[in-house]
Amino acid sequence: MTKDYSEEVKNLIEKYKKEDIEYHKPIRYLCQRSGLTKDEIEETIMFCRNLSFTELQKKQYETRYAMFFIYSEKKGKCFVLTLDKK
């Protein structure tokens, strides 16, 4: 079974503010795809509500966290975070 990194990512996120979030895709695209507003995306990430599982993804030059948010049996979202060193 894959290890859950939810607690680790929650502790890391506490060091950041909403204003620190940078998007690597256009925010309009992310909002349309997720069905959320920019504020809702930021609140989901910052407060980790409904966070069910986090997967660590080690890449050559970065570490990413795939955060899986489950809202019901049929609804959920995944956001991938890359955190700069703070």
pLDDT higher than 60, residue 86: no
- Tell me the pTM: 0.85
Number of domains comprising the chain: 1
Residue with tokens 């955060």: 67
| Domain coverage including residue 40 | 6-82
Q: Is the dihedral of CA 39, 47, 53, 11 positive or negative?
A: positive
| Confidence (pLDDT) at 20 | 85
Note whether residue 1 is domain-resident: no
Poorest-confidence range of 11-15, 16-20, 36-40, 82-86? Answer: 82-86
pLDDT higher than 70, residue 43: yes
Q: Is the dihedral of CA 21, 23, 26, 29 positive or negative?
A: negative
